[in-house]
Amino acid sequence: MLRALIIGASGYAGAELANYLSHHPEIEIAGLVVSENSADKNKLLSNNDLYPQLKGKVDLPLIGSSDYSTLGHNIDIVFLATDHAVSHDIAPYFLQKGCVVLDLSGAYRVNQAEFYTSYYHFTHQQLYWLSQAVYGLAEWNAEKIKQAQLIAVPGCYPTAAQLALKPLLTEKLLNTNYWPVINAISGVSGAGRKANLKNSFCEISLQAYGLFSHRHQPEIAAHLGQDIIFTPHLASFKRGIYETITCQVNQGITRDDILTVFNNYYAHKPLVRVYSEGYPALKSVIGLPYCDIGFELDQQHLILIAVEDNLLKGAAAQAVQCMNIRFGFNETLSLL
């Protein structure tokens, strides 16, 4: 059994990680950790105030600590479901201890120090580990993930966008002079669990935010190798990502060409489902670890639809998928 630690376990993604790992036959949860100042410390994760749906499944206490040397020995895997500033600082501690670290924040997603200066507004201090980090887009980087010690799990918006666009760009079906336009809608859980009036269910109305300034835009562009226009929206539903992506294909490309490319890339990728007709809806993926992709073509105008659960394929499920790949397990173990 491999021993895994989850730091940031009381957040939405952290709780989903705990749920998946609780029934993983190769993993023992060594500890669930929160900040020493957290109001949740010493509570069970399955407490009525937290995640009562986990009663009988994950009845483990939340350890409030910032002294990671006290969290036990023989830790093999560390999941960081933490803010990027926290992940930036603590990932090296566990990496130096020989742990495999899966970071769900943005702290190590792009191997360029200037990216963090420009878009996260801080100077990255861990340049060695930044250079070593492998981007955990599981369907595309499996060979690198198998060798990685630090896996930077992609953001929820970038996962859906890249899974939809990468096959078409790789096979040169798209006119790259026409920047793909990504209109993306997220449920409120994407903003995290901390109380905030702006995220109160009664306050939320469908609204765009972060125009030309959202951090996921350069993450998507960097890993696609393609300029894009990305507009995120917050909507009044709990969870899910719904992306409508408008592109232009090269002259002569047909609907069958597009479907063939998707099937060639994803026929043996169990967590990506391609629709041969019709379009996916959020209800297709909520509570499930899939990204579903549909499309429609009219002359050279292509519209892609990509949907996922932001807490699962957009966070916890992809992290577990990467862990499975890294340690040679079936990549869907405990996910399906």
pLDDT in tens, 68-85: 888 767 899 999 999 999
3-state secondary structure labels for all residues of 279-313: CCCHHHCCCCCCEEEEEEEECCEEEEEEEECCCHH
- 14 occurs within a structural domain: yes
Write down the catalytic residue from 99, 156, 291, 322.
156
Residue 195 reports pLDDT greater than 90: no
Interatomic CA distance for residues 125 and 121, integer angstroms: 13
Q: What is the DSSP string of 91-105?
A: HHHHHHTT-EEEE-S
Q: Is 217 exposed, middle or buried (0-12, 13-18, 19+ CB in 10 A)?
A: buried
Same domain, residue pair 57 and 107: yes
Same domain, residue pair 193 and 304: yes
pLDDT in tens, 198-210: 777 778 888 999 9
- 146 occurs within a structural domain: no
% of residues, the chain, pLDDT over 90: 89
Residue 10 reports pLDDT greater than 80: yes
- 143 occurs within a structural domain: no
Same domain, residue pair 160 and 308: yes
Residue 172 reports pLDDT greater than 70: yes
DSSP-derived pairing of the beta strands 301-308 and 291-298: antiparallel
- 325 occurs within a structural domain: no
Least confident of 15-29, 61-75, 151-165, 252-266: 61-75
What is the average pLDDT across 234-262? 96
Cβ pair 68, 43 in contact under 8 A: no
Same domain, residue pair 118 and 164: no
Q: Is the pTM of this model over 0.75?
A: yes
Determine the residue type at 178. Answer: Y
Same domain, residue pair 166 and 275: yes
Same domain, residue pair 23 and 171: no
Domains identified in the chain, total number: 2
Mean of the per-residue pLDDT values for the chain? 95
- 298 occurs within a structural domain: yes
CATH code for the domain in which residue 117 is found: 3.40.50.720
Q: Give the Cβ contact number of residue 43 at 10 Å.
A: 17
Q: Can you give the residue range of the structural domain that contains 238?
A: 156-312
What is the reported pLDDT for 91? 97
What is the reported pLDDT for 71? 79
Active site residue 156: yes
> How many Å separate Cα 213 from the centre of its chain?
19
- 227 occurs within a structural domain: yes
∠ at Cα 73 (67, 75), nearest 5°? 95
Same domain, residue pair 214 and 305: yes
Same domain, residue pair 226 and 277: yes
CATH code for the domain in which residue 230 is found: 3.30.360.10
Same domain, residue pair 89 and 163: no
